[in-house]
Amino acid sequence: MPAIPDALILGEQRAAAILGDRLGSTDPITRADLSAAMMQAFGGSDADGLWTQRDSFEILEHALVQHLGLRPLSLRKPCDVAAACDLLDRLPTHTVRSEEQVEWQQFSTPVDLAALAVVLADIQPDDIILEPSAGNGLLVAHCGRSATLQLNELAPRRRIRLTQSFPDALVTGHDGALIDAALAAAPRPSLVLMNPPFSRSAGRGADRHAALRHLAAALRRLRPGGRLVAVMPEWFNPHARIGDPTWTGLQHASLRASIRLDKCYLRHGTSISVRLLVIDRVGGGEVPPTIESGSIRELIATLAVPSRAPLPPLPAQPGRPAAISLFSAARATRPRPRPCHAPVRNDVAAVRYSALDTPAPLLGQVGVYLPYRPSRIRFETAGEHPTALVESVAMGSIAAPIPRYVPLLPERTVSHRLLSASQLETVVYAGHAWSQFLPGKFLPAREGAGLEESEQGHAYRKGYFLGDGTGAGKGRQVAACILDNWLQGRRRNIWVTKNEMLLEDARRDWTALGGLPGDIQPLSNWKIDQPLALEQGVLFVTYPMLRSARGASSRLQQIIQWAGPDFEGVIGFDEAHEMGGVGGGEGALGRKEGSLQGLCGVLLQNNLPGARILYATATAASDVNNLAYAVRLGLWGPETAFANREQFIADIRKGGIAAMELVARDLKALGLYTARALSFDGVEYEILRHELTPGQIAIYDRYAEAWQVIHRNMERALELTGVVDPLEDRTLNSGAKAAARSRFETTKQRFFGQLLLSMKLPTVIAAIEAHLDANQSVVIQLVTTAQSILDRRLGELSAGERADLEIDLSP
């Protein structure tokens, strides 16, 4: 909404002051008087574009409101309204309309009708008065300046006039159809005076139920026992049948008076008939007969004001529970002495192993798996993996090549068996692969994410693919490969993974092998447009961050500049399947574009030809198209059977899963791939059953009832926010409705899952104690503890916020 110029506001104030002086006399005000006042105030005519004829009527209303504030009418009984009728007779007829007036149904309440509404309202000294569509304030102008007013108006210029006329009022700019939710934090009104739009709604345009929506929202906002006086369209029939929208709007309320008035809007430029309704928010009562009148002067001679019911006392506000501090216990607890240990020797040594000219013999086959063993090397001191590993028969029948690479690692990683023989084998073969280069020389393609052969290009180092399953320790192996290169002088390395929460896992694996936590630094420590002040270390990057950019700056370029053109460190792509789909292709819904984070991963490899690339994922590729990110394996290009990536994908896809298996076998035979998994040999399963107690069943049922209440309130919230239309029984925003219900169902399922889990704990604890008494080990898996997100939120707090921390741990 554009700002309103100060010159326009000052001009309106001057015109209102001029017209206010005329209202103080007994002379009538003509159209010529209006134009003269506007020309004097603005220094020019409407032909000069300084104001419009419609503006002159708006300013007349503004002047009338200010006049009534200075010279209020005494309105104690219906016959007092005659003075307002006399005032109306002195005013000119509105003969000009604007598009905005028609669009927003800005037909202000005539001064005599407003006076009649105030008399019927029977205002009490302690009333809080709400006008949901206040316009220029004519309807509340008779209430007196001492009244407590809440005035709502959508039009910005009218809101400014309201603040000038009622400086002590609460003035807001919400949709009147949502006033009950929009003013939830304000005191509830005991009296509502309203003249809503009849057939237009914000966000809906033409709306035959607009007035009813405003009325229903105001009634919900009204304090129990309070009164509402509304100017409604003539069609609004309080005698409607149950199920009619009119009847729905009057539920939980009592109609005290219904008055049909003809031609009371003639001075405002329309002959429309209206109904004036008096509604009390109390139960019971019969619907009174409708009073019909041709004019307000005729009506006030015989009209009786319905008495108001006393307001019930407001319910007591519940006290705020005492805040819980996570740090009070820490401050009150005396620190325990920390034990000191003698330094541990951590000498760097070559990892000694013997190469086998003849592959190690295969072990006994179990189903489709073979027990895993390093096929070509035997370590002198390394131990076996804590849990037996297996590989498929197809992979186990292929022996790896004889390696020549000797890694450098801290001596204790081998002697203390911090790495098993299978994990050390990965370090050896990764180094073996990195000592080789792809055939040919290449330059990054000018467009896309490919490489182009060029005599002026660079030799690209081969990569290694670690396809181990869960439990084989891929993170520990990535850390070992980086540490090997770190100890050989390559002190800049990059660790790319799925999300920021895995930072602590990476540091855990790194420090377990002898590194320092500070060696691994997240890229998020630096702004996207500043150089990385990290002389040496492991740069921790997430895939979403890898693809992020702002303006001319991007994280990808920031990383490439930090690494430098001669970079030869390790780039470990943990969870490498996150780059899947880089090549696009055909999906269930047609052609798909390439994944952006996959493209950025490939571009990172293309711009650092000397980098030692390590792909680590348990789900290498469910589709051959997803292997497009593995550009350093030599699957296509010179000296291969496939000229380019597209041909590789097309031919392998024709061969199906058998062709994919052949690719994996060939990669292992070249020393570029390994894939092992935990063996479940000897594992037995037994279901521990917990019988719910009557008390637990009662708790579950009580919570189920509570969630039913939440569900009903959610449906009501969808109505209040305009997502659904209860009057027409249709959805206005299907996306928002689906999102809200999805969030509700997800939260509900998570809640009841946690509830049932807590109910099972007595049985689980008893079983744990029984196993411990039998001298058996117990492993408990904790998931979705939200520890990482809590740590991040606490890390964002200042020292002052931590000292005064308040956390609500209620359900």
CATH number for the domain spanning 277: value is: 3.40.50.150
Tell whether 653 is covered by a domain: yes
- For residue 190, the model assigns a pLDDT of 94
**End residue of a domain, out of 641, 675, 709:** 675
- For residue 230, the model assigns a pLDDT of 94
What parts of the chain have a pLDDT lower than 70? 1-3, 104, 203, 238-251, 316-346, 583-594, 620-623, 784-789, 791-792, 799, 802-804, 806-811
- For residue 242, the model assigns a pLDDT of 41
Q: Yes or no: say if 258 and 291 are a contact pair by the CB < 8 Å rule.
A: yes
In angstroms, the CA 167 to CA 324 distance is 41
Mean pLDDT of the chain: 86
Tell whether 311 is covered by a domain: no
Token pair for 536: 């040496």
Are residue 163 and residue 16 in the same domain, yes or no? yes
**End residue of a domain, out of 624, 653, 675:** 675
Tell whether 35 is covered by a domain: yes
- Please give the distance of CA 66 from its chain centroid, rounded to a whole number: 46
The DSSP symbol for 437 reads B
Tell whether 229 is covered by a domain: yes
Are residue 644 and residue 495 in the same domain, yes or no? yes
Are residue 13 and residue 148 in the same domain, yes or no? yes
Which value, in Å, is the radius of gyration of the alpha carbons in the chain?
Answer: 39
- Please give the distance of CA 532 from its chain centroid, rounded to a whole number: 30
Angle at 302 between CA 298 and CA 307, to 5 degrees: 130
With CA atoms as reference, report the closest residue to 669 among 362, 433, 404, 388.
433
pTM above 0.85, yes or no: no
* Total count of domains within the chain: 2
With CA atoms as reference, report the closest residue to 277 among 200, 209, 215.
215
In angstroms, the CA 195 to CA 574 distance is 64
Which residues is 497 bridged to in the sheet?
542
Full residue range of the structural domain in which residue 462 is found = 425-441+455-675
Concatenated DSSP letters for 59-120?
Answer: HHHHHHHHHHHHS----SSGGGGHHHHHHHHTSPPP----HHHHHTT--PPPHHHHHHHHHH
Are residue 289 and residue 432 in the same domain, yes or no? no
In angstroms, the CA 516 to CA 508 distance is 9
Q: Yes or no: say if 157 and 54 are a contact pair by the CB < 8 Å rule.
A: no
Burial class (CB in 10 A: 0-12, 13-18, 19+), 202: middle
**End residue of a domain, out of 675, 693, 722:** 675
Tell whether 566 is covered by a domain: yes
- For residue 315, the model assigns a pLDDT of 72
CATH number, domain containing residue 602: 3.40.50.10810
Tell whether 315 is covered by a domain: no
Burial class (CB in 10 A: 0-12, 13-18, 19+), 764: middle
Angle at 273 between CA 272 and CA 277, to 5 degrees: 135
Tell whether 521 is covered by a domain: yes
Tell whether 751 is covered by a domain: no
Neighbour-count burial for 413-432, b at 16+ CB within 10 Å, e otherwise: bbeebbbbbbbbbbbbbbbb
